[in-house]
Structure 1
Amino acid sequence: MNHAALLLPMLMAEAALGYPSGWWHPVMAVGALIDAVERRWNRGDAMRQRLGGIALLGVLIGASAILGGGTERVAGHGWGLAVVVLVGTTGLAQRSLDDHVRAVLRPLAAGDLPGARNAVAMIVGRDTDTLDEAGVATAAIESLAESFCDGVVAPAFWFLLLGLPGLFAAKAINTADSMIGHRTPRHLWFGWAAARADDGVNWLPARLSGVLLCLAGRGGWRTMLRDARHHASPNGGWPEAAMAGALSCTLGGPVSYDREPAMRAILGRGSRPGAQDLARALRIYRVACVLLWLIVGGIAWLA
């Protein structure tokens, strides 16, 4: 099976059509599984909790292999491959990410700061009710850059290598990391495996994402290479620093989560971003997506 030849129409179809609003999404099933397992296995001392988290990771990877591999076998060849393309679009987020960020840009550009705060609260975990224009734009740009890796490049990368099992596993691991990978007292040990797995799954895609954003933005290389390592995540700094450099603005800085102050790494140099910078970031993101299509098309042609 030529995964690249399937990935290209998959990317293009998801970008054009997205996922129907209000429909049940497979990630919801993954989330329900993680929640059910966490409530039963996250018990005991630190070692038992860590082993429970490792077991959960094994369940997620095993289920991904069974469901993805089974779907590919049932689809077979010929027109059945359209099923693989259709199912694979559920693991990509080009269109939904664009929609969510545009939903922030519209009120921000119109001067409707409360509306922009409400919209950005849908895509970030930080407190948003006191953000000014620069704070809203910063949050949206950071989310756009990091999610380009998590929601577009990483699942595409793993589909290219391993087909639907790879794409499903990458999405399941990313979902687990978002649910239990944070270093809270409850999930410090149980979420350890999910967080480390997510770091591994995104290591190469994060750096590829940074390269694509620099190419799309016609700059940002120096900022990416200089500042990416300052980010708390071993991967998140690459696309975020690349975007900061391409926009010639500063991202990161003080934020708060659940009213607790926190400090994000300072990425880039220049003024704080505004609505115009968010609009430019969206254009860079779209060009980066097209560049990804061209790369995938080139691989499909050479295969």
Structure 2
Amino acid sequence: MKLLRVGATGAERPAILAADGTIRDLSSVVPDIAGNVLTPEGLARIRAVDATKLPVIDASTRIGPCVGNVGKFICVGLNYADHAAETGAAIPAEPILFMKATSAICGPNDNVILPKNTLKPDWEVELGVIIGKEARYVDEKDALDHVAGYCVVNDLSERNFQTERGGQWTKGKSADTFGPIGPWLVTRDEVADPQNLKMWLEVDGHRYQDGSTKTMIFGVQYLVHYISQFMSLQPGDVITTGTPPGVGMGIKPEPIWLKPNQTMHLGIEGLGEQTQLTVPYSG
């Protein structure tokens, strides 16, 4: 299934992408695409519904974040061997974890607001993993049983805040609108192998990132297992799993940073596409 949330910011309705390509309203079935709706039981309830009998939502309606009420937005740093190489970093022995503020979450096609005093804003296409069943000290072999589905994430970063303002990555990752997710939550049964997905990102039509989840250092299964050793994971938590090479900070001979009025277009095979316009902070 491809689940989404549509409507004005803060007033999104749950929806499903039907087989005929229409967006259908799930409001009569579930209150939101969030929390316990993402459990195996909650997804089974949606799966049992004939989507063709649900009301059609106009295709021009805004698409919001594909998950509501996210409790934790967990990021994995330097998780692609080729990305680590472009930044000059060593391959990590264990996953590097940090948090991204949930207030950064926005819709997949919303404007990205470049923060006040920004110097080095950057892009990162990433595979998002959405938890569907509570995970606490899970074995690696059972880890995917706790995944509801996958989505596209643009893990936007302000590199000056991230690396030159005290070494806390969270500061460079958490500006408002720095976490577009969606357009869809694609349920796990529709993704045969999360470690074999093509992914790409363009800025103003120039393709900077053109990679694959094949080059992840730590795969999805291991990450869910690993993170659950340090914190419990609840339905609706989002893990964003790292980015392939081609980010602005890695471009030689000089890095390239985002500027106002640029268009980012990105996607992951089978998970949909995002388009964002960068706009300056206006107070």
TM-score normalized by structure 2?
Answer: 0.36
Higher-Rg member (1/2):
1
The structure whose residues are more often helix, as a share, is 1
Q: TM-score, normalised by structure 1?
A: 0.35
The structure showing larger relative contact order (alpha-carbon pairs under 8 Å, at least 6 residues apart) is 2
Q: Greater strand share, 1 or 2?
A: 2
